Amino acid sequence: MPDYNLDALILYWLMISAFVGCAVTPLVYDRKGRNPWRGAAIGLVVGIASGQVFGRLILMLLDSVPSLATWVSLLGGLIGLVALWLLVPAVQNEGLKHRGFVAGTVTPMVFYLATLSVFPLLWAFALAFFDYSPRRVGGPILGLGGDNPFVGLQYFELMLSGAGRDARIFQNSLANTLLFTALVLPLNMLITIPLAVMIESAHNVLRAIFRTIYFLPVVTSSVGVAVMWGYIFNTQYGLLNNGLRTVGITPVAWLQDPAATILGIPTAMVAVVIAYLWQDFGYNLVIFIAALQGIPDSLKDAAKVDGASPMQVFLYVTLPLLRPTILVTSVLTVISSFQVFDLIQVMTAGGPGRIGQTRVLVLDIYENAFRFERMGWAAAIAVVMFIFVAVLTLIQTRVLRTNWEY
Q: What is the pLDDT of residues 198-207, one digit of tens each?
A: 998 888 888 8
174 — pLDDT class (breaks 50, 70, 90): very high
Mean pLDDT of 113-132: 88
**What phi and psi values does residue 320 have, to the nearest 5 degrees?**
-60, -35
Are the C-beta atoms of residues 406 and 151 closer than 8 Å to each other? no
Quote the pLDDT of residue 1: 41
* DSSP string over 366-384: HIIIIIS--HHHHHHHHHH
Minimum mean pLDDT range among 55-59, 120-124, 336-340, 390-394: 120-124
Q: What percent of the chain has pLDDT over 90?
A: 51
Are the C-beta atoms of residues 148 and 139 closer than 8 Å to each other? yes
* DSSP string over 38-55: HHHHHHHHHHHHHHHHHH
| pLDDT tens sequence across 50-83 | 999 999 999 888 876 667 888 889 999 999 999 9
Residues forming a β-bridge with 130: 150
Mean pLDDT of 135-164: 85
* 50 vs 401 pLDDT, higher one: 50
Minimum mean pLDDT range among 180-184, 276-280, 321-325: 321-325
Write the single-letter amino acid at 213.
I
Mean pLDDT of 124-129: 90
Buried b / exposed e over 54-90, threshold 16 CB at 10 Å, is bbbebbeebeeeeeebbeebbbbbbbbbeebbeeeee
**What phi and psi values does residue 275 have, to the nearest 5 degrees?**
-65, -40
Domain positions in the chain: 6-127, 162-400
Which helix (H) or strand (E) covers residue 11, if one does? helix 6-31
Q: Is 285 exposed, middle or buried (0-12, 13-18, 19+ CB in 10 A)?
A: buried
Mean pLDDT of 392-402: 89
Pairwise CA distance, residues 203 & 398, whole Å: 37
Which residues fall within 8 angstroms of residue 35, CB to CB, at 6 or more apart?
29, 96
* 10 vs 404 pLDDT, higher one: 10
The widest CA-to-CA distance across the chain, in whole angstroms, is: 88
Pairwise CA distance, residues 70 & 404, whole Å: 58
* DSSP string over 306-334: TT--HHHHIIIIIHHHTHHHHHHHHHHHH
Fold of the domain built from segment(s) 162-400? MetI-like fold (1.10.3720)
Q: What is the CA radius of gyration of the chain?
A: 28
List the Cα angle 128/131/134 in 5-degree steps. Answer: 100
pLDDT at 384 over 50: yes
Mean pLDDT of 304-329: 88
Minimum mean pLDDT range among 1-5, 8-12, 274-278, 329-333: 1-5
Which residues fall within 8 angstroms of residue 385, CB to CB, at 6 or more apart?
177, 338, 361, 362, 365
- Terminal-to-terminal C-alpha distance of the chain: 69
Quote the pLDDT of residue 143: 79
Pairwise CA distance, residues 255 & 269, whole Å: 8
Q: What percent of the chain has pLDDT over 70?
A: 96
Residues forming a β-bridge with 266: 261
| pLDDT tens sequence across 208-231 | 898 889 999 999 899 999 999 999
Q: Is 139 exposed, middle or buried (0-12, 13-18, 19+ CB in 10 A)?
A: middle
114 — pLDDT class (breaks 50, 70, 90): confident
Give the mean pLDDT of the chain: 89
pTM of the predicted model as reported, rounded to 2 decimal places: 0.84
**Coil, strand or helix at 175:** helix
* 143 vs 13 pLDDT, higher one: 13
Quote the pLDDT of residue 95: 57
Mean pLDDT of 349-354: 87
Minimum mean pLDDT range among 45-49, 82-86, 299-303, 340-344: 299-303
Mean pLDDT of 184-196: 94
